[in-house]
Structure 1
């Protein structure tokens, strides 16, 4: 059986770096999701393929570990493959490599299939499960289990969802949630530290006109923060996350 993972190459652009000249985590997550799109297109199960059947992909959880952030104009390769299935949860893994083959980071993610009209999750269709996984490919540890709950916020920001936050699924794209969750942290932390790990859980949708509250606070573990995003219009919790930072 042929391995059905994929490899996509990118060059870090100036619009995707921070003040230190390093790629931001939201930019790297975007690369990973583009690579997943490339791979699912080859397999015939891309978002476009699903939309023809009234379905779509929805990211439910993602855990990322970064060992080194690539520089501006650095060439990177993103490797991705479907790594497993648990009931309605489909797992996909990623690895990011430098041009020299150095492992820069890795991630595991969980995806669901949604009915675009009913806005409800559905059982994984046969045409998706029929796509074979890579035999013998060692998966990364699945992202599972509960995240610690943010009890009392130390930092808070609010933003209103605009048209450019909306993606093909007609809801806020997950990378915007990631940006808002990180942006609430103090500038001193963002300037002096590197985001080493993030575990982010997506729980609900939001759309144009919604007001989003992003909150965060230090966790009991050193250099770790808990995050929460809430839709103030509906009262629904949109995102839970935990981040770990390295000096």
Structure 2
């Protein structure tokens, strides 16, 4: 069987920012929740993989905000897998208002890793044999293309102008015993210049997850302006310079 997960949520106060708009981390958490519900229907949820010694890991994620949901608004979140390859499975998301207006969309790339070896493995047969939905809803907004494993911004010269050191806290760790992918986005946003946060809103964020990090790891968040409205970001292990995450964000006026 092929499933399109559809969930309805009404925005609560703690999911909104200082302007009453849904904050990005809350939206990504709901996306992750819907994705796992969808995976459970397919028999490939977190618990299903853990029972076989595997875990899910997000490799790529790109989110576009078209119109921010606001406090008290009811939204519909749709998610579904779109393609399965030897090593990767691709998943898309749509966020709709009650009248069907597209508020946000996202596309993502996931891999499976061995819990014992903490290393990527090819997708097991029980995942590669999935039947994908054929009746994916269409919107009036140009669909997001399949994500490249090496986006162009990775090759851009990176000389950070802002840095912030952090220690990974216990509440950032998920069931796979590493930092949850949403926590990285929270850290990136918190490290953005205060004037940007107060005068602009995030229109798009493109993320490449490069390595795991764990409880009490010491990390450094780095950023630099690419243009007046676009920024490049990295999270690294400062002692080695190893990349944990690379990202590009685009901001527009409030």
What is the TM-score when the length of structure 2 is the normalising length?
0.92
**How many pairs are equivalent?**
245
Give distance in 2, aligned partners of 1:200 and 1:235: 18
In structure 2, stretches of 5+ residues that fail to align are: none
In structure 1, stretches of 5+ residues that fail to align are: none
Q: CA deviation at 1:30?
A: 0.8
Q: Could you say what the CA RMSD is over the residues aligned between the two structures, in angstroms?
A: 1.5
Q: Secondary structure at the match of 1:50?
A: helix
CA contact (8 A) 2:85 2:128 kept: no
Alignment of 1:174-185 (within 5 A): 174-185=181-192
- Worse-superposed segment, 193-202 or 225-234: 225-234
Q: Which residue of 1 aligns with 2:27?
A: 28
Cα gap change, 1:205 to 1:150, in 2 (>3 Å): farther
Give distance in 2, aligned partners of 1:203 and 1:62: 12
Q: CA deviation at 1:209?
A: 1.3
Q: Does 1:203 align with 2:202?
A: no
Q: Which residue of 2 aligns with 1:141?
A: 145
What is the TM-score when the length of structure 1 is the normalising length?
0.94
Q: Which residue of 1 aligns with 2:131?
A: 132
Alignment of 1:166-177 (within 5 A): 166-177=173-184
CA contact (8 A) 1:147 1:240 kept: no
Q: Does 1:187 align with 2:194?
A: yes
Spell out, residue by residue over 1:107-146, the C-alpha distance to the aligned partner (whole angstroms, 9 max, x if none).
0000000101100111111111121011264773111132
Q: Does 1:229 align with 2:235?
A: yes
Q: CA deviation at 1:17?
A: 1.1
Q: Secondary structure at the match of 2:116?
A: coil
Q: Which residue of 2 aligns with 1:241?
A: 247
